[in-house]
C-alpha cells in the first residue's frame, strides 16, 4: 500500500513537472490554428455538400464547383485564434446557383474543436437545411452538412489563407424600453468577421430625428446606443438605420414599436 | 517419505550443463500464462465483448454523435468498428494489456516464487526478457482478437456500406476495410508502451493490483490532460496521443505524421520503462518468499 | 567457461558482510564446505543463516566479500555459479494454479539442457507419486516441503542446500526428512544445512558453524563442539528447596544449584558429582520429586554461544524431556 501511494504520487509529480516544463518551454503552442481550420473545413464541407446535392437531386454540384472558402475565429477579438475549444466560428462562402449566399456573402458555422485536431461543425440551417432532409425518392435521411465531423493534420500547412469576411451587425433589441423622459436605446451585436463594425446608427420616430450615434464595436461584441432626443409621445414606433464603413449592416432599416 | 532407493546423485559433469536459454524461459512463461484463468478469460472477453457492444450500439435509435464516426455507426459497419476503436483506445486497451503485464513480475512476489525460479539455471535478465516478450505478445494477440471481433461483428451486424471519411470523402468498402484494419494496427505501438509501463509498475510495486491499476490510471490522466485546452503542447509527449494517430488514415489527403510521431514516443516510453524495470529487478535483493 | 575441479571447495565464503541500513544481517562471515561433507549452519532465528544462504544462491548481493561454489562466483560466472547446486530457502514456494508435475516440468525448463529426466524418480523419492497431477494450491505444508526436495533433486545436484528443512513439519515429517537428508548424504552428496535444532545438526553434520547476530560464534567439527560443551544441567524438584541448596553449598563444591526460572532448582555438575549430591539429599531425607536433564550438553553450549531467549530454553528443555 505504501508503495502504491508512492508510485501514484511519483507518477503525478513526474507528469506535472514534465507537462509544466513543456508548456512553459513552448509557450503553450498548439497545433490547432485558424489557418488549419480554414483549410480543413471547406474541404470536408464541399465533399459533404456535393453528397447533399445528390440526395436532393441537384445536378452539376461537385466539390470543385463550390469554390468554398472559410474564415475562422476563436472567441472574437478578445481571444487569440488558436487552441481547442467550443467557441470557434467559421464563416464559409460557396457558390451554388440553386442556393445563393445571403447579402453578407457567407454562412456562419459553429465549431467544437478538440485538442486532437478533430472538430464537429454545425451549419446554418437557413443555408444548409435541417438535421434531416427528404431525398429524391421521398425518404427522410440525415442531412450530411447539418452537423459533421472532420480532422486536420496537426503538422499541416499553417500559413494564413488570407480569406477574410466582414462582420455582420445585427440589432438585437426586440422591444424598446424608453426611460422616464422617453429616451430610447438599442443594442447591436457585431458578428464574427475580420475587423469589427464601424459606422453610424440613426434613429427616427415618424418625422422626428432622434439623432445619430457612431458605432465602434469589435467582432463578437455587443454595443448599446442611446439617443438623447426623447421620442415624441404620439410616435408609435422608432426606425433605426445603420450605415457602416466597415462590416455589413442590416439591409433594411429596423423598426421597433414603442410600448403602449 | 519412502525408504525407496534413490539413485545416488551421480557425479554430474557440470561442463555438460547448459544455462537455460531465452526460449526455455519463454516456454515456461507461456505455460504459466496458459494455465491462468485470467488470461484465458481475457481473450474470451476480447472476443465476445465487441459483439455485445456492436449489438447494443447498433440497436440505438439515436447514434452516439459525440464520438468520431458515431453519427454513421448505426448504418455503417466500418464507422461502427471505428467508433469502437475510438472507445477501446481510450479505456480498454491499457487495461487489457495491463491485466497480464501488471501481474507478470508481481505474481512471483505474490506466490513467493522468485527464489524458486532464480535458484535454477536461469539468469535474471533472461527471465526478465522472457516475461517482457510474453506480455507484449499477449497484448498484441488480445489487440488482434479485439480488432477481428469488432470488425467482423460490425460488418456482419451493421453492414458494408461506403464510408464517409474525415474529409467528407466517400471511401469504397474495399478500401475502407483496409483503412479500418490499418487504423486498428496503429494501436500496436502505444499498446506495447502501456505493456512496458505495466511491467515497470509490476517490477517496482511487487503488487499486481498496482501493476494493473497504475497504467490504467495514468492512461486516464493522460487522456484527460491531453484533452484540456491551452496545454496542447504536451500532447506529443503523452502516451495516449498515439491512440488517436489513426485519424490521419481516414482523411483526404491522408496524413501519417502523427503515426510516425506515435511510434517514436511509444518507443521512448517503452524503452524508458523497460530500462527502469530491468535495473530495479537486476539490483533487487530477493528477501521474501 | 570456468572448469571446476574436485580440488575446489564446494562452498567457499570469504569475509561476507550484508547490511540493511543500521542492521548488520551478516557480519564478516567466512566458511568453507569440502566436497562430500555435511555441513551445518546453526543459529537462533534472525542469526543471519537465511541471509547467508540467499547470498549463496545470488538472491541477495553481499555488500562485501566473495562467495564461490565449486570454484565459481556470481561476479564472474553469474547464474552458472548454481551449476550443480540445488536446494531451497525457507519453505519452498510453488505456483498454486499449476499441478505438482507442471511445477516440476517448468522448473526443469529453467534448469537448462544436459540433465537427465528424473521426474518420476524424484516424485517417488519424496512419496508424491499419485498426487503429482493435483494443483499445488491443494497441497499440505508437508507435501510442499517434499515437493521442494523433489524440485532440488531434479537438478541432480552435487551440493544440496537446505534451509531449516524440518521447519513446520510434524514429528513424523521431521523424522522422514532427517532420514532423507542422511540417505542423500550417504550417497556422496555435499549437504549444507541450516537449522536452529542442535540435535538435528548433531545427528547428521560433520562440521558446523554457529551464527549469532550475523557473526560466527563457533566454527569446527561436532567433536570440537562436544569437547567445549558444559556439564549437563538437571531440573530438580524437591519438597524442601532451601535445604537442598544448603546441602549442595556445604558438601558438594562440584555442583552448582540455582533456582530455575519457572520454579524448582537447576543442578549443574559432572555426572559423578551429581549422583553423589542426589544420594546425599536422599540421606538427608529431603523429599525428591523429580530429577530430569534440562538439555543436552550441546544444546547448553548452543544457548550459551547464542544467548537465546529463556522462552526458547524452556521450550527446548521440555522437548528434550519428552
Domain ranges of chain B: 22-282
Whether C281 has a pLDDT exceeding 90, the answer reads: no
Residue C24 near residue C49 (C-beta atoms within 8 A) = no
Could you give the residue ranges of the DSSP H alpha helices within chain B? 22-35, 37-58, 77-87, 93-104, 106-111, 114-118, 124-157, 173-185, 188-205, 208-227, 257-282
Where residue B174 falls among pLDDT bands split at 50, 70, 90? very high
Q: Name residues of chain A where pLDDT drops below 50.
A: none
Contact assignment for B217 to A8 by CB distance below 8 Å:
yes
**Structural element, H or E, at residue C17:** strand C11-20
Q: Quick check: B173 pLDDT over 50?
A: yes
Q: Is the pLDDT of residue C1 over 70?
A: no
Please tell me the predicted confidence (pLDDT) of residue C273.
Answer: 86
Q: Please, are residues A112 and A86 in contact by the beta-carbon 8 Å criterion?
A: yes
Residue B12 clears pLDDT 70, i.e. is over it: no
Please indicate whether residue A241 or residue C271 has the higher confidence score (pLDDT).
A241
Q: Give the number of beta-carbon pairs within 8 Å between B and C.
A: 158
Q: Is the pLDDT of residue C308 over 70?
A: no
pLDDT at C2 over 50: no
- Model pLDDT, residue C245: 87
Instruction: Pick the closest to residue A61 from A95, A109, A107 (CA basis).
Output: A95
Option in A4, A30, A48 nearest B205 (CB) = A4
pLDDT on residue B1? 46
Task: Choose among A18, A48, A156: nearest Cβ to B237.
Answer: A18
Residue scoring higher pLDDT (C265 or A214)? A214
Contacts of B233 in chain A (CB under 8 A): 22-23, 25-30
Check whether B257 has a pLDDT greater than 90: yes
Whether B169 sits inside 8 A of A47 (CB atoms) is: yes
Phi and psi at residue C255, to the nearest 5° = -120, 130
Residue of higher predicted confidence among A93 and B11: A93
Q: Which residues of chain B are within 8 Å of residue C127 when distances are taken between CB atoms? A: 1-2
Which cell is C158 given?
552435487
What is the C-alpha to C-alpha distance for residues A170 and B251, in angstroms, rounded to an integer? Answer: 37
CATH architecture of A169-257: Sandwich (2.60)
Contact: B122, C110; criterion CB under 8 Å: yes
pLDDT at position B11 = 43
Say whether B166 and A118 touch across the interface (CB within 8 A). Answer: yes
Asked which of A123-127, B44-48, C240-244 is least confident by mean pLDDT, the reply is C240-244
Q: How far apart are CA B179 and CA B163, in angstroms?
A: 10
Identify from C95, C136, C137 which residue to disrupt to test chain B contact, counting B C-beta atoms within 10 A and taking the largest count. Answer: C95
Region B23-44: what's the mean pLDDT?
94
Instruction: Report chain C residues whose CB lies below 8 A from the CB of B25.
Output: 109-110
* Minimal Cβ distance to A149: which of B68, B231, B248: B68
CA distance A151 to A67: 20
pLDDT (0 to 100) of residue B16: 54
ipTM of the complex: 0.88
3-state secondary structure C98-138: CEHHHHHHHHHHHCCCCCCCCHHHHHHHCCCCCCCCCEHHH
**Distance from first CA to last CA of chain C, Å, rounded?**
53
Distance CA B192, CA B137 (A): 9
Of B123-127, B191-195, C247-251, least confident by mean pLDDT is C247-251
Instruction: Tell me how far apart the alpha carbons of residues C231 and C228 are, in angstroms, rounded to a whole number.
Output: 10
pLDDT on residue B15: 47
Task: Please state the rounded mean pLDDT for residues C168-174.
Answer: 81
pLDDT of C45 reads 83
Over residues B92-107, the mean pLDDT reads 95
Q: b/e string for C73-90 if b means 16 or more Cβ within 10 A?
A: bbeebebbbbbbbbbbbb
pLDDT of B136 reads 97
**Closest by Cβ to C94, choosing from B116, B121, B124:** B116
Is A11–B214 a contact, with Cβ atoms under 8 angstroms apart?
A: yes
Would you tell me how many other CB atoms lie within 10 Å of the CB of residue C300? 22
Percent of chain C whose predicted confidence (pLDDT) is above 90: 29
Give A 54-73 residues with CB within 8 A of chain B. Answer: none
**What are the domain boundaries of chain A?**
34-151, 169-257
pLDDT of B267 above 70: yes
Q: Is A23 on the interface with B (CB under 8 A)?
A: yes
Q: For residue B114, list chain C residues with Cβ-Cβ distance below 8 A.
A: 59
Spell out the domains of chain C, with CATH numbers in brackets: 11-227 (3.40.50.300), 228-321 (3.30.70)
pLDDT bucket at C318, cuts 50 / 70 / 90: very low
Q: What percent of chain B clears pLDDT 90, i.e. is strictly above it?
A: 80
Q: Do chains A and C touch (3 or more CB pairs under 8 A)?
A: no
Distance between CA atoms of residues C30 and A182, nearest Å: 109
How many Cα atoms occupy the beta-carbon half-sphere of C30 within 13 Å?
3
Average pLDDT of chain C, as a whole number: 83
Q: What is the pLDDT of residue A3?
A: 65
**A124 dihedral zone (left: phi>0; alpha: psi -120 to 50; beta):** beta
Q: Do C112 and B21 touch (CB under 8 A)?
A: yes
User: According to the model, what pLDDT value does residue A151 have?
Assistant: 96
Contact call for A84 and B232, based on CB within 8 A:
yes
Amino acid at each position: 500500500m505504501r508503495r502504491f501511494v508512492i508510485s501514484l504520487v511519483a507518477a503525478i509529480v513526474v507528469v506535472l513537472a514534465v507537462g509544466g516544463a513543456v508548456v512553459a518551454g513552448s509557450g503553450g503552442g498548439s497545433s490547432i490554428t485558424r489557418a488549419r481550420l480554414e483549410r480543413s473545413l471547406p474541404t470536408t464541407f464541399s465533399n459533404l455538400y456535393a453528397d447533399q446535392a445528390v440526395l436532393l437531386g441537384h445536378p452539376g454540384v461537385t466539390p470543385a464547383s463550390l469554390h468554398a472558402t472559410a474564415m475562422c475565429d476563436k472567441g472574437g477579438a478578445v481571444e487569440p485564434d488558436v487552441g481547442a475549444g467550443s467557441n470557434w466560428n467559421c464563416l464559409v462562402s460557396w457558390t451554388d446557383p440553386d442556393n445563393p449566399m445571403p447579402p453578407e456573402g457567407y454562412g456562419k458555422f459553429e465549431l467544437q474543436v478538440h485538442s486532437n485536431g478533430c472538430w464537429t461543425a454545425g451549419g446554418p440551417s437557413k443555408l444548409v437545411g435541417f438535421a434531416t432532409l427528404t431525398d429524391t425518392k421521398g425518404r427522410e435521411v440525415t442531412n450530411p452538412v447539418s452537423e459533421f465531423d472532420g480532422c486536420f493534420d496537426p503538422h499541416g500547412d499553417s500559413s494564413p489563407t488570407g480569406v477574410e469576411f466582414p462582420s455582420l451587425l445585427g440589432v438585437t433589441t426586440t422591444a424598446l424600453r424608453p426611460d422616464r423622459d422617453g429616451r430610447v436605446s438599442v443594442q447591436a451585436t457585431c458578428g464574427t468577421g475580420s475587423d469589427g463594425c464601424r459606422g453610424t446608427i440613426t434613429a427616427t420616430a415618424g418625422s422626428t430625428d432622434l439623432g445619430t450615434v457612431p458605432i465602434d464595436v469589435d467582432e463578437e461584441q455587443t454595443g448599446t446606443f442611446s439617443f438623447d432626443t426623447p421620442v415624441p409621445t404620439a410616435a408609435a414606433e422608432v426606425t433605426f438605420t445603420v450605415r457602416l464603413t466597415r462590416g455589413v449592416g442590416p439591409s433594411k432599416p429596423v423598426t421597433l414599436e414603442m410600448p403602449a | 517419505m519412502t525408504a525407496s532407493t534413490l539413485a545416488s546423485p551421480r557425479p554430474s559433469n557440470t561442463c555438460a550443463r547448459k544455462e537455460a536459454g531465452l526460449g526455455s524461459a519463454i516456454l515456461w512463461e507461456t505455460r504459466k500464462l496458459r494455465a491462468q484463468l485470467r488470461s484465458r478469460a481475457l481473450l474470451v472477453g476480447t472476443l465476445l465483448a465487441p459483439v455485445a457492444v456492436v449489438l447494443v450500439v447498433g440497436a440505438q435509435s439515436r447514434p452516439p454523435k459525440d464520438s468520431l464516426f458515431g453519427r454513421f455507426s448505426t448504418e455503417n459497419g466500418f464507422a461502427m468498428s471505428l467508433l469502437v476503436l475510438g472507445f477501446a483506445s481510450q479505456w480498454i486497451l491499457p487495461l487489457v494489456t495491463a491485466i497480464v503485464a501488471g501481474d507478470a513480475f508481481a505474481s512471483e512476489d505474490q506466490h513467493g516464487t522468485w527464489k524458486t525460479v532464480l535458484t535454477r539455471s536461469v539468469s535474471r535478465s533472461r527471465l526478465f526478457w522472457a516475461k517482457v516478450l510474453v506480455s507484449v505478445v499477449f497484448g498484441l494477440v488480445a489487440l488482434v482478437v479485439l480488432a477481428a471481433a469488432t470488425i467482423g461483428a460490425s460488418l456482419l451486424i451493421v453492414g458494408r456500406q461506403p464510408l464517409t471519411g474525415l474529409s467528407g470523402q466517400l471511401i469504397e468498402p474495399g478500401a475502407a476495410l483496409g483503412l479500418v484494419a490499418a487504423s486498428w494496427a496503429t494501436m500496436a505501438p502505444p499498446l506495447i508502451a502501456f505493456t512496458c509501463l505495466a511491467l515497470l509498475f509490476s517490477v517496482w510495486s511487487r503488487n499486481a493490483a498496482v501493476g494493473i491499476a497504475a497504467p490504467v490510471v495514468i492512461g486516464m490522466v493522460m487522456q484527460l490532460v491531453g484533452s484540456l485546452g491551452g496545454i496542447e503542447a504536451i500532447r506529443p509527449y503523452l502516451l495516449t496521443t498515439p491512440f488517436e494517430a489513426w485519424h490521419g488514415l481516414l482523411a483526404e489527403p491522408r496524413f501519417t505524421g502523427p503515426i510516425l510521431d506515435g511510434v517514436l514516443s511509444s518507443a521512448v516510453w517503452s524503452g524508458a520503462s523497460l530500462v527502469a524495470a530491468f535495473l530495479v529487478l537486476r539490483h533487487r535483493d530477493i528477501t521474501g518468499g | 567457461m570456468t572448469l571446476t575441479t574436485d580440488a575446489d571447495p564446494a562452498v567457499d565464503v570469504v569475509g561476507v558482510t550484508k547490511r540493511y541500513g543500521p542492521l548488520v544481517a551478516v557480519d564478516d562471515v567466512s566458511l568453507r564446505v569440502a566436497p562430500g561433507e555435511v555441513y551445518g549452519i546453526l543459529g537462533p532465528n534472525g542469526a543471519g543463516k537465511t541471509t547467508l544462504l540467499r547470498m549463496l544462491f545470488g538472491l541477495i548481493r553481499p555488500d562485501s566479500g566473495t562467495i564461490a561454489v565449486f570454484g565459481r562466483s556470481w561476479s564472474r560466472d553469474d547464474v552458472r555459479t548454481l551449476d550443480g547446486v540445488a536446494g531451497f530457502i525457507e519453505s519452498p514456494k510453488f505456483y498454486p494454479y499449476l499441478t505438482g508435475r507442471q511445477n516440476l516440468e517448468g522448473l526443469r525448463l529453467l534448469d537448462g539442457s544436459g540433465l537427465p529426466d528424473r521426474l518420476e524418480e524424484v516424485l517417488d523419492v519424496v512419496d508424491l507419486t499419485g498426487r503429482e497431477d493435483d494443483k499445488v494450491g491443494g497441497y499440505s505444508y508437508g507435501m510442499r516441503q517434499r515437493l521442494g526436495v523433489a524440485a532440488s533433486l531434479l537438478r541432480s545436484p552435487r551440493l544440496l542446500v537446505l534451509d531449516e528443512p524440518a521447519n513446520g513439519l510434524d514429528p513424523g515429517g521431521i523424522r522422514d526428512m532427517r532420514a532423507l537428508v542422511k540417505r542423500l548424504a550417504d550417497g556422496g552428496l555435499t549437504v549444507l544445512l541450516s537449522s536452529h535444532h542442535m540435535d538435528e545438526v548433531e545427528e547428521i553434520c560433520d562440521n558446523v558453524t554457529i551464527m549469532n547476530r550475523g557473526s560466527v560464534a563457533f566454527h569446527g567439527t561436532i567433536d570440537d563442539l562436544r569437547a567445549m560443551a558444559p556439564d549437563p544441567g538437571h531440573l530438580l524438584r524437591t519438597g524442601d528447596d532451601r535445604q537442598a541448596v544448603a546441602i549442595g553449598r556445604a558438601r558438594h563444591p562440584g555442583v552448582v544449584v540455582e533456582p530455575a526460572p519457572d520454579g524448582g532448582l537447576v543442578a549443574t555438575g559432572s555426572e559423578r558429582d551429581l549422583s553423589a549430591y542426589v544420594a546425599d539429599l536422599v540421606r538427608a531425607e529431603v523429599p525428591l520429586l523429580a530429577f530430569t536433564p534440562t538439555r543436552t550438553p550441546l544444546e547448553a553450549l548452543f544457548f550459551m554461544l547464542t544467548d537465546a531467549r529463556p522462552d526458547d530454553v524452556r521450550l527446548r528443555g521440555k522437548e528434550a524431556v519428552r
